[in-house]
Structure 1
Amino acid sequence: MSERIFITGIGTGVGKTITSACVTEALQADYWKPIQTGLMEGTDTDTVHALLSNDVSVCHPEAWKLEAPASPHLAARLENKTINPDAIIARVESYTPVNRPLVIEGAGGLLVPVNDHYFTAELISDLGAKALIVAQNYLGSINHALLTSAMLKHLGIPVLGWVFTGDYHSNEDDIVKWSGYPKIGRIPWTEHVDKSFIQQQAQLLSASLHTLLA
């Protein structure tokens, strides 16, 4: 099951990193965050590594680490750098396990710019990955969710389905219906995200993930 699963979101702060940890744990996959911005808050790679319980998953080093908490193209520009997607794409073969998936966490949503001419959606396609969309309920989230699913369809990127985070709202059932993409599961909000929580949520997502990847 050497799949590449790209975790994208309908916006920023919707729970991509926690979802990445849960999916990585559920599949005993490897994890990779190609571009990390906002280093003052630590890295998502460190967060995921600290939350995993299995002794199989490998967390691979970032291709780019940038200080500013901004979109990749802007964070790189502030350091007089330009992100070259080829340097990311060149690593994916060696990072993809032979018999397990590789979970790739993106920065923000589909149209977050990687550089002045290249966007996250293009990276998903060039990495040969399937998208897993993370969504959360907030004012405007239906619009953001359906725009995300429409863009993925337009670009012909295969989609595993939705993971919803936070408190349940009937909006998520409407999003599943209107998008045509299945609901993989949901990860509830908690004050204490630890290994036990990730293990519990991974078990709840596991059956759906394995079925969709079969």
Structure 2
Amino acid sequence: MSFDFSVVPSYSQILGTGLLWTVVITALAGTISILFGVGIAIISLYGSKIVSLPVRGVVFLFMGTPLLLQLYLLYYGLSQVGVMLPAFWTGVLGLGLHYAAYNADIFRTCLRGVDPGQTEAARSLGFGRGATLRHFIIPQALLTALPQVGNNSIILLKDTAVLSVLGITELVLNAQRAISETYRPFEFYFTAALLYYLVNLAMEGLLNVAARKAEAIR
């Protein structure tokens, strides 16, 4: 059987739309993963056991179960308790929470790694605990965590393909739509893989630039 990539340009618009939504989903879910990851790390380190232990339990749940299962639980489970979220936002939330669990471990390690002298110096200047965390500890921890969190964001980009099972428009689902019309799976899956690779290269380049700037600031 021969390959025929001449059919691909005719579907460039649908593939481009899928790629655009893949990038949008990555940005939204990545933001959620960072915000929740920082919050979970702070609660785990500085919160009371009554609060921190249940939070850690939820983190272990997200880290110890498959992403696809978590998406199914959110998509079908929330509707059973009266919470009706569109599939798109369910997918974004599911991806964000999944990677928030992994980012939380990174942030927790980086928070612990900040020189205790920074805290003592801030407190001696009259900053309270919250202000010390907000203005001194968290910014330094974020700079240290940037390379690892960036790597997680690249992995998150590739995991957006899982959202196709929920019918969410992204690159893999749109490639499948093109395949259903042309019966050319190799050509379109190969093109989708190439597009993922190019976006990965772009993200790695941006991450390297950001990491160098962060190192200069530190």
TM above 0.5, one fold? no
Q: 1 or 2, which has the higher helix percentage?
A: 2
Q: TM-score, normalised by structure 2?
A: 0.24
Q: Of the two, which has the highest radius of gyration? A: 2
Choose between structure 1 and 2: higher strand proportion: 1
TM-score of the aligned structures, taking structure 1 as reference length: 0.24
